[in-house]
Amino acid sequence: MYRKVIILEVKEQYALAMDEGGEVIRIRNRDGLNMGDRVYVLPEDLYVVEAVRVEKTGKNSGNKGKEGRSGSGSSRRNSWARIAGMAAVLILCITLLFPQIPDTTVFAQVSFDGDSSIQLALDPDSKILHASSPDQSVDADALTALEGRTLSDVTGDLMRLCGTGSLMIGYVPLEDAQSSASMISEIQKLFGTQSTVILIGRPEDLSLAAKNSKSLGRFLMDRYDAGEVLKTLQQKMQELPTWMIDQADENPVREEAMSSIANRNSREEVLSASGAGKNGFTEESGSPVYGAEDDDEDDGAEADDDYDYDDDREDDEDDDDWEDDDDDRDDVPPVRPQTQSSGSSASRPVTQSKPQMQTGTSSQKPSSGNGSTGSAVTGSSGSSSASSGSGTVSRPVYHDDDDDDDDWDDDDDDD
């Protein structure tokens, strides 16, 4: 309640006093207070300082401590206030010095290869999170200008940078593969009637492409051309039941294709065999060899006629896989790239294009525009087929192929 103290030192606003236990306290200064006085003090007489700065003094020097500015605060509270202030400043500095961490994860990686190579990291809303040029063909300022904008906003810039000619697009979904169908469809619509090839890869392809200093699209195309996919196809064929292989062997086109697989390992050889140019595009139509580039609106029958042996082979085998053994669905070969040719039928859905090969794991789906790994889709303007590819394994790829149907029919008859 009350304490007896000895006044040790009298300052302007307070005095230092020692109580009977030896504790030194500060009390409010009042008239008539002198050093050595022994007085009673009450709790309300204690002097609480907001900030007291005591300067260390040298020897034989008086106390030069600075008095508190007011008696309403608490030294401990002031310490906490200082700590809180310093923490706030530190947080502010960190926020200003370091770039803000984006709150969205990368949904997909897309590369555009034409006159230049550009690779974009997209969020689920097709917003460009990061832009790069693997071959350094685009300057940093132009890349920076793309970031933060949506794909639709930068279409003009992409056309300007990559050219208005044939465009190779590489796509790797990093999130929900099923949701990628809509993004692929959006990408396809971006370039209107411009000739494009969309190659769909796997997440691990990103690191491999970066390791080889290639854009995603070029890496996927090179891998495809290197025969890796064809070799996988050959391996898968060997795993087929004997009766299926025997039936397939009866197909002369397929036989020729198999021999080509065995003998031809270079892209140029394959292309030359098909009569296509080195760039993979037919000189006449400007469409790539593998694409369903035709103007045909109905089915893929006429388009099939323009295709190489690979198409027939794939028709047979893929159909077999799909039709007879759903369990083997995941083991089908990778999807072939298909193109969007100028003037291609807007009504031709992607899923109705030529059979598509798949690479890799059993979890893959056929390319129905759903971003299945290792698959490729065509970009057909106005097509919403990519979005129709919901990631489910379906037969639409083969439905429009009369030849395939015929084969099935034949097979059924044989059964």
Q: Using the rule CB under 8 A, which residue among 13, 33, 286, 405 binds other proteins?
A: 33
- How far apart CA 195 and CA 305 sit, in angstroms, is 20
Q: Is 160 in the site for other proteins (CB under 8 A)?
A: no
The residue (of 40 and 243) whose beta carbon lies closer to other proteins is 40
Torsion sign over Cα 180, 186, 189, 190: negative
Residues recorded for the chain: 415
Query: Which among 58-66, 117-125, 170-178, 342-350 is the span making contact with other proteins, rule CB under 8 A?
Result: 58-66
> From the CB of residue 151, how many other CB atoms can be counted at a distance below 10 Å?
20
> Is residue 21 involved in binding other proteins (CB under 8 A)?
yes
Which span (4-12, 103-111, 212-220, 397-405) binds other proteins, by CB under 8 A? 4-12
Stretch that binds other proteins, among 39-47, 138-146, 368-376, 404-412 (CB under 8 A): 39-47
Q: Residue from 13, 50, 51, 52 that binds other proteins (CB under 8 A)?
A: 52
Stretch that binds other proteins, among 55-63, 104-112, 193-201, 341-349 (CB under 8 A): 55-63
Kindly determine how many residues on this chain lie close enough to bind other proteins according to the rule CB under 8 A.
42
Smallest distance, Å, CB 4 to other proteins? 5
Binding window for other proteins (CB under 8 A); candidates: 27-35, 271-279, 351-359, 406-414: 27-35
69 binds other proteins (CB under 8 A): no
Which of these ranges, 57-65, 132-140, 157-165, 375-383, lies near other proteins under the rule CB under 8 A? 57-65
Residue closer to other proteins by CB (options 30, 160) is 30
Decide if residue 4 touches other proteins (CB under 8 A).
yes
12 is a site residue for other proteins (CB under 8 A)? no
- Check binding of 77 to other proteins (CB under 8 A): no
Give yes or no for residue 60 binding other proteins (CB under 8 A): yes
Q: How far is the CB of 75 from other proteins (least distance, A)?
A: 7
Q: Output the smallest distance, CB 94 to other proteins, in A.
A: 32
Least Cβ distance, residue 147 to other proteins (angstroms) = 54
Does 73 bind other proteins (CB under 8 A)? Our answer is no
Our finding on whether 82 is near other proteins (CB under 8 A) is no
Residues between 178 and 197 with contacts to other proteins, criterion CB under 8 A: none
* HEC assignment per residue over the chain: CCEEEEEEEECCCEEEEEECCCCEEEEECCCCCCCCCEEEECHHHECCCCCCECCCCCCCCCCCCECCCCCCCCHHHHHHHHHHHHHHHHHHHHHHHCCCCCCCCCCEEEEEECCCEEEEEECCCCEEEEEECCCCCCCHHHHHHHCCCECCCCHHHHHHHHCCCCEEEEEEECCCCCCHHHHHHHHHHHCCCCCEEEEECCHHHHHHHHHCCCCHHHHHHHHHHCCHHHHHHHHHHHCCCHHHHHHHHCCHHHHHHHHHHHHCCCHHHHHHHHCCCCCCECCCCCCECCCCCCCCCCCCHHHHHHCCHHHHHHHHHHHHHHHHCHHHHHHCCCCCCCEECCCCCCCCCHHHCCCCCCCCCCCCCCCCCCCCCCCEEECCCCCCHHHHCCCCCCCHHHHCCHHHHHHHHHHHHHC
Residue 46 interacts with other proteins (CB under 8 A): yes or no = no
40 binds other proteins (CB under 8 A): yes
CA distances from 361 to 329, 347, 355, 409 (A): 11, 31, 18, 30
Options 15-23, 97-105, 115-123, 273-281: segment touching other proteins (CB under 8 A)? 15-23
The torsion region of residue 382 among left (phi > 0), alpha (psi -120 to 50) and beta comes to left
Give me the least distance between CB of 72 and other proteins, in Å please. 17
By rule CB under 8 A, what string of x and - marks binding of each residue 94-133 to other proteins? ----------------------------------------
Contact residues: other proteins, CB under 8 A = 1-2, 4, 6, 8-9, 16, 18, 20-27, 30-42, 44-45, 52, 54, 56-61, 63, 65, 75
